[in-house]
Amino acid sequence: MEHIVSNELKQHILVDLIEPNYKNEIARNLRLKKNFKNMGLFFETLSKFFVGTSSVLSFSSGIYRFELLSFLAGTSSVVSLVMLQYSSYAYRESKKITKETNDILSKLHIQNISESKMSIDDNNSDKSTMEPSTPINK
């Protein structure tokens, strides 16, 4: 025997449970997307600073013959790579959150949000961090 659910119960579930949940999820995702995007930009910028620092220290170590400068140059390079990895992670998370949000918006028949260009480096060889994860509605 099949149980028939009343329209009143369906309306209650939709209005009181599902819709507020969608609202909270979208607001949370938009905050997270912004935070991850800002983190990505911060870490990418910091990485470029450490690349410059490493270059200066490396050249200085050749001139002044001070071994500590070589060590600091190498350490600065490693820190730069770590910052670049953090940046890449943050950009991927931002894209993932954008996709999740767009999935919710699609269910609600609302136009998707687009993922703007992520990297500040126009010549970045990994173009996947710069492409939107969802189609852009015009």
Per-residue pLDDT of 72-130, as tens digits, reads 999 999 999 999 999 999 999 999 999 999 999 998 889 888 876 555 454 444 444 44
Closest CA to 86 of 99, 58, 128, 78: 78
Can you read off the two tokens belonging to residue 112? 């998707």
Token couple for 109: 């028949």
pLDDT, residue 127, reads 43
2-60: pLDDT as tens digits: 788 899 998 999 899 999 999 999 999 999 999 999 999 999 999 999 999 999 999 99
- The pLDDT-based confidence of 131 (bands split at 50, 70, 90) is very low
- Helix 19-64 vs helix 67-107: angle between axes, to the nearest 10 degrees? 160
Instruction: Report the alpha-carbon distance of residue 80 to residue 86 in Å, rounded.
Output: 10
